[in-house]
Structure formats: C-alpha cells, structure tokens
C-alpha cells in the first residue's frame, strides 16, 4: 500500500467528486486563496480534509447564487482575517440582492425585445431577416 493510500482524506479528484466541483476549479480557488492549500504526504500527494470539502461546498453554492469571488472572500472572513459578523454577512447579501434584482429587470427587458424581434420574423427562407436587421440597427 502506498503512502498516498495510507493517508486519510481526499485526493483532488475525490474532492471534486464529493463536492460536485471540478479539478480546475479547485486549483483556481487554491491559487486565489479561497481554498487553503492542503497538506501533502511524504510522496507529495495533496490530501484534502472534510474542512476543505465543507469550504469548497460553501464557495460553490455562493457562486451558484451569484456572489462574486470578492464577496465570497468577505463572507469567509479572508479580507481582514476576522470572521464576519452576521450584520456584515447580511449587508453583503442585501447588496447582492440589489444587484440580482437589477439583473432581473435587465433580463425582462431583454426578453421583451427578443420576443418582439422574433415575432417580426416569419421563419421562412426569405433573404432578408428582420431579426438580423433589428440587431444591426443597435
């Protein structure tokens, strides 16, 4: 049995499978400091702990909810080295919610324009396309 097999914990591939992330994402989060570098075995293998998996799940879920990496850094308390207070977390979340609502408004506007534009097109084989004409007009 190799040194790698004797150590308890996750390999990077195991961590990816366990959390639903992928190997490149894990590397990136390590490089940016969101995910701490794991200890290595004497053979040089990275071994991730349950704490790494928990933190990675947090990061992945926050990204799914649209938080920026800087917001996640703040939520994790990495900006100033101190754990954020509930008030700080709420403030970040409320600022993010304002951004999300603005994006929803933009998306609804885009949907209306696309719906209107698509309705102008018969979908036939005509050489002129109203959709392309609308897009060209800016």
Token readout for 49 is 């702990």
pLDDT of residue 7: 56
Mean pLDDT for the stretch of residues 18-44:
95
pLDDT of residue 111: 95
Mean pLDDT for the stretch of residues 79-98:
88
pLDDT of residue 123: 77
Q: Concatenated DSSP letters for 6-46? A: HS-SB-HHHHHHHHT--HHHHHHHHHHTSSPPPPB-TT--B
The chain-wide mean pLDDT, for the chain, equals 89
**Ramachandran category for residue 103: left, alpha or beta (phi over 0 → left; psi -120 to 50 → alpha):** alpha
Mean pLDDT for the stretch of residues 106-112:
95
pLDDT of residue 6: 43
What are 93-99's contacts with CB under 8 Å, separation 24+?
Answer: 96/65, 96/66, 96/67, 96/71, 99/66
Mean pLDDT for the stretch of residues 37-65:
95
Domain ranges in the chain are 3-122
Q: Topology of 3-122 in CATH?
A: Multidrug-efflux Transporter Regulator; Chain: A; Domain 2 (1.10.1660)
What are 88-92's contacts with CB under 8 Å, separation 24+?
Answer: 92/67
Residue 65 has pLDDT above 80, yes or no: yes
Residue 48 has pLDDT above 70, yes or no: yes
What is the value of pTM for the model shown?
Answer: 0.77
């Amino acid at each position: 049995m190799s040194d790698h097999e004797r150590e308890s914990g996750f390999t990077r591939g195991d961590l990816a499978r366990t959390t639903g992330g992928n190997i490149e994402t894990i590397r990136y989060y390590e490089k940016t400091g969101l995910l701490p570098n794991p200890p290595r075995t004497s053979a040089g293998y990275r071994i991730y702990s349950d704490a790494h998996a928990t933190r990675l799940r947090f990061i992945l879920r926050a990204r799914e909810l649209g938080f920026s990496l800087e917001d996640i850094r703040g939520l994790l308390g990495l900006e100033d080295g101190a754990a954020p207070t509930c008030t700080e977390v709420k403030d970040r979340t409320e600022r993010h919610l304002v951004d999300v609502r603005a994006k929803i408004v933009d998306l609804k506007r885009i949907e209306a324009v696309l719906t209107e534009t698509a309705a102008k097109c018969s979908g036939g084989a005509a050489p002129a396309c109203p959709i392309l004409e609308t897009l060209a007009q800016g």
